[in-house]
Structure 1
Amino acid sequence: MWKIAIVDDERQVLQGMKRAIPWDALDAEWAGEALNGEDGLELVRSAQPDIVITDIYMPVMNGLDMIEQLRKEDFNGKIIILSGYSDFEHARQALRYNVSDYLSKPISIPTLKAILGKVIQELAGEEEKRIKQDELEQKLRMYEPFIEKEWVKSAAAGTLESSYRSGESLPQPYRFWTETEHVVIGIDLVRDIRASELTLSDWNLFRFAISNIVCEVAQEFFSSFEYTELHSTRSVLIVHSEAGSNKEQLVQHLERLGVQLIDCIKNYLKLVIRIGIGGIKAQWTEIPDSTEEAFRAIDLRDKRIACSYDLYAYGEAMQSDSGAIVMRPTKFYFELAGAIKSSQETQAQQLVDEFVGQLEQQTGITPDYVQMLAGELWGIFAYCLYEVGMVLDEMFPSELIAKEMIGLTRPKDLASWLKDKISSICSSRQWRGNSKHRQAVDFMTQYIHEHYADEMTLADLADKVYISRNHLSIIFKNMTGETFNNYLTRVRIEKARELLMERNMLVYEVAERVGYKNVPYFSTLFKKLTGMNPTELIK
């Protein structure tokens, strides 16, 4: 209930107000009374009313001085002045103190009720905004770890936009990066017989277990590090050391850490991993380079650190047999995974073209290397689709894919094969109708049909279904065949046509009923969608 306090030096006024205010109708209650401004201050401080009705001319302390002090103390409640004097200077002061209304005595009961109703409506609106703001802040606090995790992943993969590559743009927990050196340990889970028998849901459990093991073992060697998954079977551990620290000792710790990780994951999870150690970087913006070097070390398997361990270190002279440097860019994998998950077919095709174009410029690309790339990328496809509720094996039999991969011998073969599969995935019924996306779109369409007259944006609904605005826009278009705004407009115009055909309302009334305050704009949309003016339906 809303609490109302009254400050007035006339007891008759106080008693009259208490009787005149329709408490139940306003969902309000009496918060107390005072006979002067000084007592009024104490009353407001103790009772914290939502509304204060006060006179100006009172003994000890007048109403304006009381209001000034309340505002200095950050009292944000509504204040209504009810005075027997109408004075311009007082009214101007009242405006400066953010007073809701300035009324003259005597006041009629209907006017008092109307003023209080208006003020309470303002309070209700402000309360609703506060609740939404609190919910948003709570949601942001809840999502903060996930946002930071995605930031670390982008920093490792090299997909941060240029505007985020300055020290000032570092999230607070990672500001220390500007004062340390960095090295990336790349972790690649081997798809052996045991791993290939795991279901995708089992993969999630093992990924979680690997994360725990990596972080627990890393604590034995380093105090500052971050672990993040990149895609499919690959993840990274970003290690930080004090600038100028002993490089030889750092390398020894990295090598011992690598050996222990391989042993622990083999002993506890019965899984096999390969580990690559990238170069040490002085700047945090060079972390993506260390990531690429770590996985290049794994791919080329040239500089093995320990016998009988798949543990490799990056060397500046690492080249293919023909002398060309061969890389599988982590950034490409990362961006391609994001494009597929959000069904951005055109972007995914462009990424493939750019990557294969770079690949064709290198010499020494063997059929085995092309087929290895195809296998890695197919694993990324499978993982991405699983995250949005689809199973790739149900769309493409694994035997068929294996046969197709054998025929891939040149980079352009890989490009054609990848682009064909991307088109098939993005246009498939399973993609358009997968359960997670369908549930979100069903909620949206139902919400539009129930609240078409309200102001709403795609961002509003994105908050309700916990999907980013851009991603939700793509999903909605894929499912319905039209944009969110077009769908909302069509629903509104169809409802408007129904109302007009009943011939009980004027055009402007119908426009307001379906959510349009601008009648000419409504008429333009109506004719565009129906082929006739709204006035033609009510003649």
Structure 2
Amino acid sequence: MWKILIIDDDFQVLEGMKKAIPWESIDAVLVGEASDGAEGLKMVRQTQPDIVITDIYMPVMNGLEMIEKLRENNFPGELIILSGYADFQYARQALRLQVSDYLSKPVTIEELGAVLAKVIKELETKELKKIEQEEVKRRLMMYEPFVQQEWLKSVMTGTFNETIAAESIQLSEQAYWLQRNHVVMGIELMSTVRTANLSLIDWNLFRFALANIIREILAEDWPESDFIELHSHHAAIMFHVERSSVTADAMSRIQLIGERITDCVLTYLRLTIRLGLGQMKESWQEISDSTEEAFLDLLQMSNIPQLKGDQLSTVPSEKELAIRPIKFYQELAEAIVYSKEEIAAQIVEAYINRLQSMSTITPAYLQYLCTELWTIFAYSLYSVGIVLDELFPEMKLQSEIIQIQTPEQLQQWLRGKIHIIATSRHWNENSKHKEAVDFMIQYAHDHYAEEISLEDMSKQLYLSRNYLNQIFKKATGETFTNYVIQVRMKKAQALLAEGKYLIYEISEKVGYKNVPYFSSIFKKYNGISPSEVSKSGL
């Protein structure tokens, strides 16, 4: 109910107002009355009213002085002035203080009712906006870890929107980056005899253990850093370095940390990793350049012929960095996961065009790219419930890869595989996806009274939150969030029809602790509020 406080030094006016206000129809209650501004201030503090109706000319402190003090204290409610003084000077001052309305005595019951209805509508709008903001904030907090990791990955790989990122970084926990230099360490988990026949599930467990070891070491040795898992067997660390530090000393410390990570992974997991180090960058926008340098540094360690004969230069040239394999890997993996065949083809074509511009590309390097991409495809698709080997049961990977000698052949090979992947994994052709959607539908009907989120579904089904939302929308035509709301609204209609429950009880039974928010959602979906349904007996 809306709380109203009346302030007037005329006893008859006070009593008349109490009788004239249609309390029940506007869902309001009188929480107090006062005869001057000073007493009114005390009553406001005690009762926290939603609406204050006040006279102007009163003893001790007049109404305008009181309103000014309320505004100084950020009073959130609405203010209505009711005065016998029709002087324009008062009206102008009242407007400056942002009062909701200014009425001159005597006022009719109709005028008073109309003003109160308008003010209450404004209050409802403000309350709904506040509730929606709180709901958005709650959801953002819920999804913050996921969003944070994706944002960090985009900075690491260079796939971020620079304008949006530049605006958001000022408001984020990464604001301290603006006063730091940055350097990236690339990490490659090596395939060994021990890992050669691992299932993707076991491979994931190893990655999880690897991430835990690295994060523990970083927490001890370099807290101002970020560990990011990239694709399949690749990961990276962003080190943020004080600008007062000597670059050589910082790089030496980072190399020691890398050695400790390598030793711990070998000791505790019996896995081998390789590390590459990029160059120090002054701006966070250049972090992705350091990432590419780190992985090109790793590339020098492999046994295949490289971009320049048998070795890479220590400092990659600008032309070599333009190839940006890590950015290419990230963009292509995302397109594959979401069945965006056309976009994937465009990404491949753009990358092949860059390769064609380089006269030093060798067949061995192209074959190396094929192997890398196939591993990335397998890992990325597994995260959304697709087993790559099941799509290509007769394929002899090494035999096909050895045939690739030119960038054009690589493009043709990739496009053929991408087409098969994209056309073979519609949700209704994959029993796991259908089972996932069926589970989500049943879960919404069984748990509508509880907090339900895609994050919960993701944890239970072992599929990514974004991908779950995508396959659910394909199946039902609705997002999962909207589907849950519809289930709740249908249940609320049924409970209202029974006529046994109060509105606040129904609100709780269908998963809403905030009654005004429930009412607004109900009206949005049904075109009529719960209270109107109750009165009409529908």
Measure, in 2, the Cα distance between the counterparts of 1:238 and 1:314: 23
1:49 offset after TM fit, Å? 0.5
Residues 325, 85 of structure 1: alpha-carbon distance in 2 compared, 3 angstrom cutoff: closer
Q: For each residue in 1:263-282, what CA deviation from the matched residue of structure 2 results, as whole angstroms up to 9, or x when unmatched?
A: 22233233332222233445
Q: 1:224·1:240 contact (CA, 8 Å) conserved in 2?
A: yes
The 1:58/1:167 distance shift into structure 2, 3 A limit, reads: closer
CA displacement at 1:325 relative to structure 2: 10
* Structure 1: gaps (5+ residues): 304-312, 447-461, 485-512, 516-539
Does structure 1 retain, via aligned residues, the 8 Å contact 2:81–2:99?
yes
Identify which of 355, 378, 386 aligns with 2:382.
386
- Where does residue 11 of structure 1 map in the other structure? 11
- 1:155 equivalent to 2:151? Answer no
The verdict on how the C-alpha distance between 1:406 and 1:432 changes in structure 2, with shifts beyond 3 A counting, is farther
Contact 1:437–1:475 (Cα < 8 Å) also in 2: no
Identical counterparts, % of pairs: 45
**1:42 equivalenced with 2:42 (yes/no):** yes
1:236, distance to aligned residue in structure 2 (A): 0.7
> Could you tell me which residue of structure 1 aligns to residue 420 of structure 2?
424
Partner of 1:191: 191
Report the alpha carbon displacement of residue 378 of structure 1 after superposing the two structures with TM. 1.7
Corresponding residue for 2:267?
A: 267
* Cα distance, 1:186 vs structure 2: 0.9
Deviations 1:280-338 (A, max 9, x none): 445544433332222223223179xxxxxxxxx9852789xxxx999762111122223
CA distance in 2, matches of 1:128, 1:167: 28
| Structure 2 CA distance for partners of 1:170 and 1:343, relative to 1, 3 Å | farther
Alpha-carbon offset, residue 225 of structure 1: 2.1
Higher relative contact order (CA 8 A, sep 6+): 2
**Structure 1 residues 326 and 43, CA gap change in structure 2 (3 angstroms):** closer
Residue 364 of structure 1 deviates from its aligned partner by 5.3
CA distance in 1 between counterparts of 2:147 and 2:225 reads 17
Identify if the C-alpha distance between structure 1 residues 54 and 257 changes in structure 2 by more than 3 Å, giving closer, same or farther.
closer
Structure 1 residue 479 corresponds to structure 2 residue 495: no
Inter-partner Cα distance in structure 1 for 2:473 and 2:428: 6
Partner in structure 2 of residue 71 of structure 1: 71
Q: Distance in 2 between matches of 1:271 and 1:379?
A: 18
Residue identity matched to 2:65:
D
User: Are the counterparts in 2 of residues 276 and 314 from structure 1 also a CA contact under 8 Å?
Assistant: no
Counterpart contact for 1:186–1:294, Cα < 8 Å:
yes
Measure the CA separation in 2 of the matches of 1:370 and 1:477.
38
What does residue 527 of structure 1 align with?
none
State the distance in 2 between where 1:296 and 1:343 align.
29
Q: Any stretches of 5+ residues in structure 2 without a counterpart?
A: 304-310, 445-453, 459-465, 480-523, 527-538
In the TM superposition, 1:222-301 aligns within 5 A as 222-243=222-243, 245=245, 249-301=249-301
The verdict on how the C-alpha distance between 1:92 and 1:356 changes in structure 2, with shifts beyond 3 A counting, is same
Report what 2:534 is aligned to: none
Cα contact 1:6–1:32 (8 A) shared by 2: yes
The runs of at least 4 consecutive aligned structure 1 residues that moved more than 6 Å come to: 164-168, 324-328, 480-484
- What is the match of residue 98 of structure 2? 98
Question: Structure 1 CA distance, aligned partners of 2:224 and 2:207?
Answer: 21
Q: Which residue of 2 aligns with 1:377?
A: 373
CA–CA separation in structure 1 for the residues paired with 2:146 and 2:176 = 20
Instruction: Write the deviation string for residues 86-142 of structure 1: whole angstroms up to 9, x where unpaired.
Output: 444433433333222333444454554443333222211210101111222343445
Matched AA of 1:405: I
* Residue type at the aligned position of 1:422: I
Q: Does 1:415 align with 2:411?
A: yes
Q: Describe the shift of the 1:41–1:437 C-alpha distance in structure 2 as closer, same or farther (beyond 3 A).
A: farther
Cα distance in 2 for partners of 1:363, 1:233 equals 29
Q: Distance in 2 between matches of 1:67 and 1:178?
A: 44
Give 1:245 shift.
4.5
- Alpha-carbon distance in structure 1 between the residues aligned to 2:334 and 2:475: 22
Q: Structure 2 CA distance, aligned partners of 1:83 and 1:359?
A: 80
Change (3 A) 1:287 1:69: closer
1:336 aligns with 2:347: no
Secondary structure at the aligned position of 1:26 is classed as coil
Alpha-carbon RMSD: 4.3
Could you give the per-residue CA deviations for residues 213-250 of structure 1, whole angstroms, max 9, x where no partner exists?
11222345435322112222211112244447455544
Does the CA contact (< 8 Å) of 2:187 and 2:235 recur in 1?
Answer: yes
Give the superposition deviation at 1:188: 0.9
User: What per-residue deviation string (whole Å, max 9, x for no partner) do you get for residues 493-525 of structure 1?
Assistant: xxxxxxxxxxxxxxxxxxxx999xxxxxxxxxx
CA distance, structure 2, for counterparts of residue 77 and residue 339 of structure 1: 50
Task: Compute the TM-score of the two structures, normalised by the length of structure 1.
Answer: 0.70
Q: Closer, same or farther in 2 for the Cα pair 1:197/1:114, shift >3 Å?
A: farther
| Offset of residue 54 of structure 1 | 1.9
Separation in structure 2 between the aligned mates of residue 278 and residue 383 of structure 1, nearest angstrom: 25
Change (3 A) 1:107 1:340: same
In 2: Cα distance, 1:178 partner to 1:78 partner: 43
After superposition, what is the alpha-carbon deviation per residue over 1:145-201, rounded to whole angstroms, capped at 9, x for unaligned? 544433332332233445478799566544444554433211111234543544444
Are the equivalent residues in 2 in contact too, given 1:279–1:314 (CA < 8 A)? no
Contact 1:325 1:362 (C-alpha < 8 Å) held by counterparts: no
CA distance in 1, matches of 2:245, 2:64: 66
2:354 alignment partner in structure 1: 358
Partner of 1:52: 52
Quickly say closer, same or farther: Cα 1:438–1:290, change in 2 above 3 A. same
**Given that residues 32 and 43 in structure 1 are in contact (C-alpha distance below 8 angstroms), is that contact kept between their aligned partners in structure 2?**
yes
The residue that corresponds to 2:342 in the other structure is 346
Amino acid at match of 2:295: F
Q: What is the distance in 1 between the residues matched to 2:226 and 2:434? A: 30
| Shift in CA distance, 216/112, structure 1 to aligned 2, threshold 3 Å | same
| CA gap 1:120/1:438 in 2 versus in 1, 3 angstroms | farther
